[in-house]
């Protein structure tokens, strides 16, 4: 390209830039897309994104179904902010692996497809930092405080917010401290009520995408199941594809192929008159999708019959709604059914062959459960065979760590498992006072089933590393039929409430890159807590302690009992 041509292009781009006053207009002129809708960026196939792009609210949250074009809003906002507003942007994903995959598969691809963006960004070699002149796009994972520290920005974009910890979200929000003009976007497929994106959405305007029905002319919206004529009787019924959308006001058929016509002029309408106007909330489901047919949604609905994971996936990823499946959490009925006649004040053990463990969840307050175990013999998968009897539960303040020493002696504990954090030094000292009887515990991905990986840390304290989900299932599953746990009649209200907090849901396994390589979206169970769950954790740690107690008592390796 000669100098004159380059100068003409620069002048033309400068003149055009003056007219690109909104993020949507900018995206339509600056971004080139690949499949499934190649060419200049357009909201034609996702009309709900038009108004979302240009929201001026300081805080914006979208509770969404999958594959509805919402992520592209965040990508466009990131590029627009850097190119037009000359501001730095922090884009946060759940993990560093997610951030790396996203940086390579979405941002780098966007730059390659769009010549203008390729010229704007002068340095894209780093996965975590994309430089455009003096402005920076930071792409970070939420795990680990160092990932989010020392990045002062005025625009924060949180992608798949439900997979982040609340602490990480709060830390990311502090990156905007000191900024007069703040702009925050959080998007996510929801998981369970009162958690993550749903918790933020509750305080918002709670906007719904409404349109004029082509049959009756009334304003309406699409909701499940009112707006779907379900045809067929099961997942293998070929008639499912005949299912169709209908107006919930008049029952008239809404033709899928005509969606561009009856959704083309749709708009967002506030659903929460008492919501904070500084917080705009948007909710959209795959019922609105141009690429997902009503028949596909009905088939997904039928897949949820008798399949907990598929049922959760349907409500979360298809309908964009938080959901708790049957049996996903312990109920008050479950707890009541496990309360029997003994008391926490009954006589303490005085020897014999009783197997007793203790679990401790530590923090400002330390929560303790003491459990006695009953089984026929020491054998493989001991936790499945054993029945549990909670002898005692209590809590004590962080200043009184010697209380645990008293508990160990008073209850003649065979094995104790304690949370390694946050007071790691106190936990280590406690373990050293009872060598061979106390193990610190950490949860980690990659540890399979009820496997327990045991090692010594740098201070020669025994660390047990386990998979969180499997041990939560083992510990809390006892409260369901056939009820393999007994609680004292004077069990505390706080214990009862904490046990009911964890909720089992399902998330996609592995990183984006892992899913692409496997060409599958495997779902794995995960426990989410929407409130204090300390006694539930002490219950988990006491469960983990059983194989240690069996190993200590029998002289066999712990692997024999897992």
Kindly report the CATH number assigned to the domain that includes residue 143.
Answer: 3.40.50.300
pLDDT grade, residue 90 (50/70/90)? very high
Which range has the worst mean pLDDT, 256-260, 355-359, 440-444, 508-512? 508-512
Section 445-455 average pLDDT: 76
CATH number of the domain enclosing 531 = 3.30.420.240
Residue 178, pLDDT > 80, answer no
- CA distances to 75, 113, 149, 383, 488 from 38, rounded to whole Å, are 16, 10, 38, 55, 64
- Report the alpha-carbon distance of residue 366 to residue 421 in Å, rounded: 11
Residues 377 and 278 in one domain: no
- Contact indicator for 422, 428 with CB cutoff of 8 Å: no
Give Dmax over CA atoms of the chain in angstroms: 95
* Residue that finishes a domain, picked among 295, 318, 341: 318
Residues 303 and 206 in one domain: yes
Give me the half-sphere count of Cα atoms (radius 13 Å) on the Cβ side of residue 82: 26
- Report the alpha-carbon distance of residue 48 to residue 353 in Å, rounded: 67
* Residue that finishes a domain, picked among 318, 340, 369: 318
Q: Is 180 a member of any domain?
A: yes
Residue 305, pLDDT > 90, answer yes
Residues 371 and 304 in one domain: no
Residues 309 and 351 in one domain: no
Terminal Cα distance for the chain, rounded: 69
Q: Is 296 a member of any domain?
A: yes
Closest CA to 92 of 111, 71, 113: 71
> Percent helix, strand, coil in the chain (nearest 5)?
35, 25, 40
Section 387-410 average pLDDT: 96
Which range has the worst mean pLDDT, 163-167, 253-257, 289-293, 497-501? 163-167
- Report the alpha-carbon distance of residue 27 to residue 80 in Å, rounded: 8
- Report the alpha-carbon distance of residue 343 to residue 284 in Å, rounded: 51
Give me the half-sphere count of Cα atoms (radius 13 Å) on the Cβ side of residue 175: 29
Residues 74 and 170 in one domain: yes
- Contact indicator for 440, 431 with CB cutoff of 8 Å: yes
Residues 201 and 64 in one domain: yes
Q: Is 323 a member of any domain?
A: no
Residues 62 and 191 in one domain: yes
Residues 305 and 416 in one domain: no
Q: Is 143 a member of any domain?
A: yes
Residues 357 and 231 in one domain: no
* Residue that finishes a domain, picked among 292, 318, 344: 318
Chain segment 17-69, per-residue pLDDT in tens: 556 889 999 999 999 999 889 999 999 999 999 999 999 999 999 999 999 99
- Report the alpha-carbon distance of residue 39 to residue 32 in Å, rounded: 5
Please spell the DSSP secondary structure of 225-274, one letter per residue. Answer: TTTEE--SSSTT-GGGGG-EEE-TTT--EE-GGGHHHHSTT-EEE---TT
- CA distances to 183, 230, 248, 274, 306 from 239, rounded to whole Å, are 47, 9, 22, 44, 20
Residues 115 and 231 in one domain: yes
Which pair of tokens denotes residue 442? Answer: 């950490």
What total of structural domains would you count in the chain? 2
Q: For residue 314, what pLDDT is reported?
A: 97
- CA distances to 369, 389, 430 from 408, rounded to whole Å, are 11, 17, 10
Q: Is 17 a member of any domain?
A: no
- Report the alpha-carbon distance of residue 521 to residue 49 in Å, rounded: 26
- Report the alpha-carbon distance of residue 85 to residue 155 in Å, rounded: 11
Domain that holds residue 253: 22-318
Residue 460, pLDDT > 80, answer no
Task: Check the CA dihedral 121-122-123-124 and report its sign.
Answer: positive
Locate tokens 């309408």: which residue?
269
Residues 472 and 440 in one domain: yes
Q: For residue 510, what pLDDT is reported?
A: 56
- Report the alpha-carbon distance of residue 90 to residue 157 in Å, rounded: 6
Section 472-500 average pLDDT: 97
pTM of the model: 0.88
Q: Is 348 a member of any domain?
A: yes
Section 493-511 average pLDDT: 89
Residues 234 and 339 in one domain: no
Chain segment 306-355, per-residue pLDDT in tens: 899 999 999 999 999 999 999 999 999 999 999 999 999 998 887 778 99
Q: Is 50 a member of any domain?
A: yes
Q: Is 409 a member of any domain?
A: yes
pLDDT grade, residue 145 (50/70/90)? low
């Amino acid at each position: 390209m000669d100098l004159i041509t380059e100068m003409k292009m620069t002048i033309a781009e400068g003149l055009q830039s003056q007219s690109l006053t909104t993020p949507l207009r900018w995206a339509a002129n600056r971004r080139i897309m690949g499949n499934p809708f190649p060419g200049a960026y357009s909201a034609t196939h996702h009309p709900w994104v038009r108004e979302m792009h240009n929201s001026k609210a300081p805080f914006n949250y979208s509770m969404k179904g999958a594959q509805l074009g919402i992520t592209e809003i965040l990508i466009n906002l990131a590029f627009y902010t850097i190119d037009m507003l000359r501001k730095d942007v922090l884009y946060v994903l759940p993990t560093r692996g997610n951030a790396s995959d996203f940086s390579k598969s979405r941002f780098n691809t966007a730059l390659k497809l769009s010549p203008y963006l390729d010229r704007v960004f002068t340095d894209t070699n780093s996965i975590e930092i994309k430089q455009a002149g003096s402005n920076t796009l930071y792409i970070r994972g939420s795990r680990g405080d160092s990932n989010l520290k020392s990045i002062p920005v005025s625009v924060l974009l949180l992608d798949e917010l439900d997979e982040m910890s609340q602490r990480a979200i709060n830390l990311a929000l502090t990156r905007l401290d000191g900024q007069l003009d703040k702009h925050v976007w959080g998007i996510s497929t929801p998981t369970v009520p009162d958690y993550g994106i749903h918790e933020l959405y509750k305080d918002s305007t709670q906007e719904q995408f409404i349109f004029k029905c082509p049959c009756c002319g009334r304003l309406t919206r699409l909701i499940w199941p009112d707006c779907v004529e379900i045809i067929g009787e099961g997942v293998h019924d070929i008639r499912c594809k005949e299912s169709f959308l209908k107006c919930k006001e008049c029952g008239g058929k809404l033709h899928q192929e005509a969606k561009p016509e009856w959704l083309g002029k749709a708009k967002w309408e506030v659903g929460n008159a008492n919501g904070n106007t500084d917080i705009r909330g948007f909710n959209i489901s795959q019922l609105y999708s141009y690429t997902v047919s009503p028949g596909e949604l009905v088939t997904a609905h039928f897949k949820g019959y008798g399949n907990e994971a598929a049922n959760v996936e349907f409500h979360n990823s298809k309908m964009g709604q938080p959901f708790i499946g049957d049996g996903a959490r312990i109920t008050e009925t479950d707890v009541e059914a496990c309360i029997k006649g003994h008391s926490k004040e009954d006589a303490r053990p005085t020897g014999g062959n009783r197997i007793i463990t203790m679990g401790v969840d530590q923090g400002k307050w330390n929560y303790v459960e003491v459990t006695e175990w009953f089984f026929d013999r020491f054998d493989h998968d001991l936790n499945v065979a054993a029945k549990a009897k909670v002898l005692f539960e209590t809590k004590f303040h962080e200043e009184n760590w010697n209380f645990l020493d008293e508990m160990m002696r008073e209850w003649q504990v065979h094995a104790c498992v304690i949370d390694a954090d946050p007071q790691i030094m106190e936990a280590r000292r406690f373990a050293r006072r009872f060598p061979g009887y106390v193990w610190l515990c950490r949860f980690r991905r990659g540890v399979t089933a009820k496997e327990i990986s045991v090692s010594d840390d740098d201070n020669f304290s025994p660390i047990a590393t386990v998979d969180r989900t499997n041990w939560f299932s083992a510990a809390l599953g006892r409260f369901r039929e056939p009820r393999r746990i007994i609680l004292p009649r004077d069990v505390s209200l706080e214990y009862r409430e904490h046990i009911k907090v964890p909720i089992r849901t399902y998330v996609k396994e592995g990183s984006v890159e892992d899913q692409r390589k496997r060409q599958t979206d495997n779902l794995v169970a995960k426990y989410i807590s929407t409130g204090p769950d300390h006694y539930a954790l002490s219950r988990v740690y006491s469960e983990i302690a059983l194989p240690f107690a069996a190993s200590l008592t029998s002289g066999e390796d712990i692997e024999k009992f897992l």
